[in-house]
Structure 1
């Protein structure tokens, strides 16, 4: 039985990972920011107020053999920091590498780092998905910080012998999802007509259950050592198809007006919303064959199953 330390245990992904671990395993420690954080009774709570270069992880790493590092300064739209890259680096690079060095020194055998597909880049040509072996081309401060953290933990692995597993998720959805995915569900639920009925792109998504299953698989799997894995539901959807299936999961009609993508992109550019149009009209696909074949792993939840679980939670709120 591995003694596991998990960071980011109260986040969207981290909370689901902790739920799975506490249901199936013992000897779990979770790093939280405040003593008031509620955790399951069988989880050892370790208060770590900050994630930076000066954080002392000695108590959290006691008897730890595996670290699952979910905590991060997450990507935000319209970041108002005067130097966003410097802010991302403090947590995502300096904080991560400080934890990894202390984990290796404490005798941890494996460090699982939850990175991001933004390390690969922001978009793909239709039908030409990213792979785990592509040269990274991050485009924003968040993606750059995650790439630098990946490079750093790999170097620590080479120097110390601690195994590193890097997982790059695409857009994650599931119960209690926030941000753009939740907004789209709200629009579908209200029956708002949207000019998104003729989008012929392809985008990869990953349900929270599938991502958690892969993370848990990587705790013990011998073939996961020192690998980088992309993860998705293994079914790519156009924006139009995604909204139709989302509406079906909600039990609502999809009121989608067939406006050409080029018109939407031109209008968005005039309004200074080019990035929004890129996410709605552009493609971002990933090839998970390396993940499937290396680990003999298949996403256990289909897109429709993931959408139904997400919709049910949304409607119950």
Structure 2
């Protein structure tokens, strides 16, 4: 039986991965920054951004077979550091590569790194593939791309298998970030000028992403590959908001305002990045993921949204 170490175990995705492994009876060590009350038998407490935390984890790597690395510095809405890119690199790049080196030295067989679709880019006119030339446009995505490059170097030097997964927006019960904002808007009944948006965006439910990560732990074809994650369905922002409303049992109050007018208004207000996420398209092609791993997303978008609110009620 595989012995797994999961970093970022108290985070949105990490806690879901740990729960699934725990339910499946897999020997799992959950790495957390603070001593929190988590329902897992094997906890490793340590902040990987500190030398003490890294030393603590390094001493816990044996005996294990696979590291699932989820700990990272995610998008920060209100930056409080003078050089955000340096902080992203410190956590997302440097910590990742130091952990990978320690893992290789400890005899870890496979290192699974959860990256970001932002490595491909943040907008497209055709679906991204895993073979596309990377084009990270933001500090977060750039730090993930630099980590990927370093991981391939470590793989070549040590022979440790590397698996990279790039998910788009992840949604689920209690999801932070953009999806959480959409849910709050619908829950409060706020009228939104998003009733005539005809973009296409790929998403991935937390359950589908966790299932893919679990598949990558054991599948021999996953070794030394990059995979894009997704639900296999693309929605416009309008369709997503309506779907969230149906799943919540509350109507989405959407006003049909032309996308061009919204884009202009957002630009004038200095909200161009937010407008791009709501109005632009970002699609991913998961055909390689499905074919190489003999995998398909277990849940449709409709089912994924329904599960969000079944759990929260």
Category of TM-score, reference length = shorter chain: over 0.9
Match of 1:39 in 2: 38
User: Which residue of the other structure, out of 195, 200, 204, is the alignment partner of 1:206?
Assistant: 204
Q: Does 2:275 align with 1:277?
A: yes
User: Using a 3 Å threshold, how does the CA distance of structure 1 residues 224 and 52 change in structure 2: closer, same or farther?
Assistant: farther
Aligned 1:94-109 pairs, distance under 5 A: 94-109=94-109
Segment of structure 1 superposing worse, 257-266 or 21-30? 21-30
Maintained 8 Å contact 1:230/1:286: yes
Q: How many residue pairs end up in the alignment?
A: 311
Match of 1:179 in 2: 177
SS at match of 1:204: strand
Maintained 8 Å contact 1:198/1:260: yes
Match of 1:8 in 2: 8
Maintained 8 Å contact 1:176/1:313: no
SS at match of 1:87: helix
User: Which residue of the other structure, out of 217, 242, 247, is the alignment partner of 2:240?
Assistant: 242
Deviation at 1:39, TM superposition (A): 2.6
Aligned 1:55-204 pairs, distance under 5 A: 55-56=54-55, 57-125=57-125, 128-204=126-202
SS at match of 2:9: coil
Segments of 5+ residues of structure 1 without an aligned counterpart are none
| CA distance in structure 1 between the aligned counterparts of 2:307 and 2:79, rounded to whole angstroms | 31
> Structure 1 length as normaliser, TM-score?
0.95
Maintained 8 Å contact 1:96/1:149: yes
| CA distance in structure 1 between the aligned counterparts of 2:170 and 2:122, rounded to whole angstroms | 15
Deviation at 1:218, TM superposition (A): 0.4
What RMSD in Å do the two structures reach over aligned CA positions? 1.3
SS at match of 1:305: helix
| CA distance in structure 1 between the aligned counterparts of 2:103 and 2:82, rounded to whole angstroms | 32
Deviation at 1:116, TM superposition (A): 0.5
SS at match of 2:31: strand
Deviation at 1:154, TM superposition (A): 1.0
Q: Deviations over 1:101-160 (max 9, x none)?
A: 0100100000000000111111111xx011100111101111110000001111101111
SS at match of 2:77: coil
| CA distance in structure 2 between the aligned counterparts of 1:142 and 1:149, rounded to whole angstroms | 11
User: Using a 3 Å threshold, how does the CA distance of structure 1 residues 278 and 139 change in structure 2: closer, same or farther?
Assistant: same
| CA distance in structure 1 between the aligned counterparts of 2:168 and 2:127, rounded to whole angstroms | 12
Maintained 8 Å contact 1:53/1:90: no
Deviation at 1:74, TM superposition (A): 0.9
| CA distance in structure 1 between the aligned counterparts of 2:59 and 2:187, rounded to whole angstroms | 46
Deviation at 1:52, TM superposition (A): 5.2
Match of 2:308 in 1: 310
SS at match of 2:201: coil
Q: Deviations over 1:159-197 (max 9, x none)?
A: 111000000000000011122212211221232211101
| CA distance in structure 2 between the aligned counterparts of 1:307 and 1:143, rounded to whole angstroms | 26
| CA distance in structure 1 between the aligned counterparts of 2:309 and 2:24, rounded to whole angstroms | 26
Maintained 8 Å contact 1:6/1:68: yes
> Structure 2 length as normaliser, TM-score?
0.96
Segments of 5+ residues of structure 2 without an aligned counterpart are none
Q: Deviations over 1:187-232 (max 9, x none)?
A: 2123221110110100000000000000000000000000000000
| CA distance in structure 1 between the aligned counterparts of 2:82 and 2:289, rounded to whole angstroms | 38
Q: Does 2:250 align with 1:256?
A: no
SS at match of 2:113: strand
